């Protein structure tokens, strides 16, 4: 199959290059008329954490030549005070912490904030620039608001190379895991709220993803781009990463770089982590996809999802590649009651493995064998964690042979992992990082260190009654016909009753009519080279999707049609996920 997977999808907003200004010199020149026309001008430059403030000062402020400048960093509490403030929440666990609501005011010294606000109010003439994260809270009233943003994945790359630390601290040399944990549980929650609060007030949007190559669009065009996105099918920008168990399937099929040792996984639809590319003529800006979720939740998600989950994107599609690689860690996800009580999360990671491809010897480890000695298994896991001897996984856990298009349901509490030589399309709920590893096959991570094991958490959540017969009857390839018509048939692929996600697979050689029915749809082309997604009322332009690409159909789209692109002799297939209307049985 031809490698036509689109790694850089774009939502085209306008056809004019002039709508997007590139480069610091051009950006400064574009700003000058608005500044020069005022005898007194307060320019607030709000920044997401990770934006290179030194570059902005060196390249933009040097050209604007402000008469006064206030740095948000100077208004923050001292680093030691912030560390002490957050320590009880972050704890000592290398991965997990408890979700808690913070605001930017929790980062600011009250005295320093009052002083900075007073300086803004007393500024009488010339240009004053307020710069950094929390600028809007400091300035409160401004003449021009610029918002500088960058993608979540770019932030992680800067964390891994120790270019940036966390908000209010000088900890850039900490491990990438520490930096991510603090950002995930605190920094990003706080600053996502700032973005949401100032969104409608933004005069200028800056894309700062590429060093020394900023892009600028007017705030109205930035908002227009997000509005257009939630009115049509679209894709987020996927990102790929190596891992200790990674394989070669994605490198081969997606034309990925040769330098990384492997590619273990890909986030193909996780708006918390992925980004969107918005096109203005031949230029594109990249923006965090979570902004779309926050700004247009009802159009994107639908009223039912918004009521149940809030402005959270509840469905995740990602790839796990073990073709030519190794097993994933043996793991379990927390039960709903556990994740709520322990971590403050409202729902848990029920998931499923859809086998997009599989070698003849591919297996998925799922559920316990019959008559497992629980105490003995726990002893063997603890011995393995202590480095005394490998854990005999095959003695306790079922290894189910799988083939292309197998679909296995994995409700929370079920011990599982993908074995080697499979390409998994993981379809799951999206509580992000809450996975309890039990055994990692006696190997090290790519940094040469062991990956964190959460054995006590895992043992507390394993459902010991999910054994061989139960798994066979409830979780594996429970395919049921739903409907059919000329050139197509629809089937349910059998996600377990406790999972809030429903999946439907369509096999087709001709057009298939779909309807979001007012709720979010997420799909992937799991068989066939290309399809086209169209509106029966021409509400959006035809949208082309290639093999293995995940795409989102917002709730507001309503009816849409999927057809093969070109002639086909064999059936194509899509897998579609959506949130069940009724509440699932809580187990």
**Domain limit, last residue, from 424, 443, 474:** 474
- The string of pLDDT tens digits covering residues 511-570 is 999 999 999 999 999 999 999 999 999 999 999 999 999 999 999 999 999 999 988 889
Q: Is residue 352 within 8 Å of 499, Cβ to Cβ?
A: yes
User: CA-CA-CA-CA torsion for 490, 353, 255, 569, nearest 10 degrees?
Assistant: -20
Number of domain units in the chain: 3
Which of 458, 474, 490 corresponds to the end of one domain? 474
The backbone region for 427, taken as left when phi is positive above 0, alpha when psi lies in -120 to 50, beta otherwise, is beta
Residues 313 and 454 in one domain: yes
pLDDT of amino acid 514: 98
Contacts of 448 (CB under 8 A, 6+ apart): none
**Residue 437 belongs to some domain of the structure:** yes
Give the three-class secondary structure for 289. Answer: coil
| Residue 509 to residue 569: CA distance in whole angstroms | 7
CA distance 161 to 166: 13
Residue 496 lies in a domain: yes
Q: How many CB atoms lie within 10 A of CB 208?
A: 24
Q: Would you give the DSSP letter of residue 247?
A: B
Claim to verify: residue 164 and residue 304 sit in the same structural domain: no
Question: What are the structure tokens assigned to 89, written together?
Answer: 């929440």
Residues 438 and 485 in one domain: no
Q: Would you write out the chain's pLDDT as a tens digit for each of its 587 residues?
A: 566 899 999 999 999 999 999 999 999 999 999 999 899 999 999 999 999 999 999 999 999 999 999 999 999 999 999 999 999 999 999 999 999 999 999 999 999 999 999 999 999 999 999 999 999 999 999 999 999 999 999 999 999 999 999 999 999 999 999 999 999 999 999 999 999 999 999 999 999 999 999 999 999 999 999 999 999 999 999 999 999 999 999 999 999 999 999 999 999 999 999 999 999 999 999 999 999 999 999 999 999 999 999 999 999 999 999 999 999 999 999 999 999 999 988 889 999 999 999 999 999 999 999 999 999 999 999 999 999 999 999 999 999 999 999 999 999 999 999 999 999 999 999 877 899 999 999 999 999 999 999 999 999 999 999 999 999 999 999 999 999 999 999 999 989 999 999 999 999 999 999 999 999 999 999 999 999 999 999 999 999 999 999 999 999 999 999 999 988 889 999 999 999 986 544 44
Whether 426 is in a domain gets the answer yes
* b/e per residue 112-145 (b: at least 16 CB within 10 A): ebeebbeebeebeeebbbbbbbbbbbbbeebbbb
Secondary-structure breakdown of the chain: helix, strand, coil percentages, each rounded to the nearest 5: 30, 30, 40
144-149/40-47 β-pairing: parallel
Domain match, 423 and 369 both:
yes
Distances (CA, A) of 475 to 6, 208, 367: 32, 45, 9
Cα-atom radius of gyration of the chain, to the nearest Å? 25
Q: Does residue 510 sit within a domain?
A: yes
Helix (H, G, I), strand (E, B) or coil at 148: strand
Distance, C-alpha 209 to centroid of its chain: 17
Asked whether residue 126 is domain-assigned, the answer is yes
Residue 450 and residue 384 share a domain: yes
Q: Are 166 and 187 in contact (CB under 8 A)?
A: yes
> Cα–Cα distances in Å, from 583 out to 305, 315, 372, 428, 482?
11, 15, 32, 16, 21
pLDDT tens digit sequence for 426-470: 999 987 789 999 999 999 999 999 999 999 999 999 999 999 999
Question: What is the phi/psi pair of residue 36, to 5°?
Answer: -65, -25
Cα–Cα distance for residue pair 90/83, rounded to 1 Å: 9
CATH code of the domain in which 276 resides: 2.60.120.10
Do residues 470 and 491 share a domain? Answer: no
What is the edge-to-edge ordering of all strands in the sheet holding 11-14? Answer: 11-14, 275-280, 283-288
Sign for the CA dihedral angle at 526, 532, 536, 541 comes to positive
- Asked whether residue 193 is domain-assigned, the answer is yes
Under a CB-based contact definition with an 8 Å cutoff, are residues 1 and 196 in contact? no
The boundaries of the domain holding residue 131 are 24-213
Instruction: Identify whether residues 301 and 185 lie together within a single domain.
Output: no
List Cβ neighbours of 562 (8 Å cut-off, separation of 6 or more). 506, 508, 511, 512, 514, 523, 531, 532, 533, 534, 574
pLDDT tens digits, one per residue of 54-103 = 999 999 999 999 999 999 999 999 999 999 999 999 999 999 999 999 99
Q: What are phi and psi of 147, to 5 degrees?
A: -115, 120
* Statement to judge: residues 470 and 484 lie in one domain: no
349 and 280 within one domain: yes
Calpha distance 515→503 (Å, rounded): 14
In terms of domains, do 263 and 186 share one?
no
Q: Are residues 464 and 501 in the same domain?
A: no
Q: Are 9 and 236 in contact (CB under 8 A)?
A: yes
Q: What does the block give as tokens for 563?
A: 């057809």
- Asked, for residue 146, whether it belongs to a domain, the answer is yes
Q: Using the 8-state DSSP alphabet, how is residue 271 labeled?
A: T
Q: Which residues in 31-42 are b (16+ Cβ under 10 Å) and which e?
A: beeebeeeeebb
Of 419, 447, 474, which residue is a domain's last?
A: 474
Category of 99 on φ-ψ map: left (φ > 0), alpha (ψ -120 to 50) or beta: beta
Given the DSSP bridges, would you call strands 397-401 and 363-368 parallel, antiparallel or unpaired? antiparallel
Check whether residue 304 and residue 448 sit in a common domain.
yes
Mean predicted lDDT score pLDDT of the chain: 96
Residue 34 lies in a domain: yes
**Separation between Cα atoms, residue 48 and residue 567, nearest integer Å:** 47
Euclidean distance between CA atoms 109 and 121, whole angstroms: 18
Strands 144-149 and 204-207: parallel
Question: What is the rounded distance in angstroms from the CA atom of residue 165 to the CA atom of residue 186?
Answer: 13
């Amino acid at each position: 199959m031809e490698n036509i997977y689109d790694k850089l999808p774009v939502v085209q907003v306008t056809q004019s290059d002039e709508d997007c200004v590139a480069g610091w010199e051009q950006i400064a020149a574009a700003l000058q008329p608005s500044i020069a026309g005022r005898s007194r001008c307060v320019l607030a430059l709000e920044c997401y954490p990770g934006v290179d403030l030194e570059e902005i000062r060196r390249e933009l402020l040097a050209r604007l030549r402000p008469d006064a400048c206030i740095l948000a960093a100077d208004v923050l509490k001292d680093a030691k005070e912030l560390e002490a403030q957050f320590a009880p929440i972050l704890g000592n666990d290398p991965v997990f912490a408890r979700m808690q609501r913070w605001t930017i005011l929790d980062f600011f010294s009250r005295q320093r904030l009052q002083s900075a606000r007073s300086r803004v109010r007393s500024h009488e003439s010339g240009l004053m620039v307020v710069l950094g994260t929390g600028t809007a809270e400091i300035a409160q009233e401004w003449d021009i608001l610029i918002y500088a943003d960058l993608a979540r994945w770019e932030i992680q790359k800067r964390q891994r190379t120790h270019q940036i630390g966390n908000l209010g601290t000088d900890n850039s040399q900490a491990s990438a895991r520490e930096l991510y944990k603090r950002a995930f549980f605190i920094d990003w929650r706080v600053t996502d709220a700032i973005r949401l609060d100032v969104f409608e007030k933004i005069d200028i949007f800056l894309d700062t993803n590429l060093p020394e190559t900023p892009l600028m669009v007017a705030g109205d065009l930035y908002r227009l781009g997000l509005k257009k996105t939630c009115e049509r099918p679209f894709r987020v920008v996927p990102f790929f990463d190596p891992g200790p168990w990674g394989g070669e399937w994605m490198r081969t099929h997606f034309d990925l770089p040769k330098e990384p040792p492997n590619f273990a996984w890909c986030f193909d639809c996780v708006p918390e982590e992925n980004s969107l590319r918005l096109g203005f003529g031949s230029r594109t800006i990249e923006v965090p996809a979570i902004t779309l979720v926050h700004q247009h939740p009802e159009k994107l998600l639908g009223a039912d999802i918004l009521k149940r989950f809030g402005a959270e994107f509840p469905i995740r599609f990602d790839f796990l590649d073990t073709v030519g690689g190794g097993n994933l860690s043996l793991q379990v996800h927390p039960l709903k009651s556990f994740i709520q009580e322990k971590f403050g999360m409202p729902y848990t990671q029920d998931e499923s493995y859809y086998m997009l491809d599989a070698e003849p010897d591919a297996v998925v480890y799922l559920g316990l064998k019959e008559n497992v000695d629980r105490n003995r298994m726990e002893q063997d896991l603890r011995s393995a964690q202590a480095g005394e001897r490998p854990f005999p996984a095959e003695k306790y856990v079922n290894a189910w042979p799988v083939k292309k298009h197998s679909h296995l349901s994995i409700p929370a509490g079920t011990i599982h992992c993908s074995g080697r030589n499979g390409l998994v399309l993981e379809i799951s709920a999206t509580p992000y990082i809450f996975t309890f590893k039990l055994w990692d096959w006696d190997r090290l991570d790519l940094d040469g260190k062991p990956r964190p094991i959460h054995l006590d958490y895992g043992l507390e959540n394993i459902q010991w009654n999910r054994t061989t017969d139960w798994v066979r009857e409830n979780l594996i390839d429970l395919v049921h016909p739903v409907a059919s018509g000329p050139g197509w048939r629809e089937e349910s692929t059998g996600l377990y009753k406790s999972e809030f996600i429903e999946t439907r697979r369509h096999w087709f050689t001709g057009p298939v009519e779909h309807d979001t029915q007012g709720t979010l749809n997420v799909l992937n082309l799991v068989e066939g080279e290309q399809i086209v997604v169209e509106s029966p009322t021409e509400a959006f332009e035809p949208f082309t999707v290639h093999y293995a690409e995940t795409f989102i159909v917002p709730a507001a789209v309503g009816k849409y049609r999927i057809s093969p692109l070109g002639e086909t002799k064999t059936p194509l297939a899509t897998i579609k996920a959506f949130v069940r209307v009724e509440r699932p049985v809580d187990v």
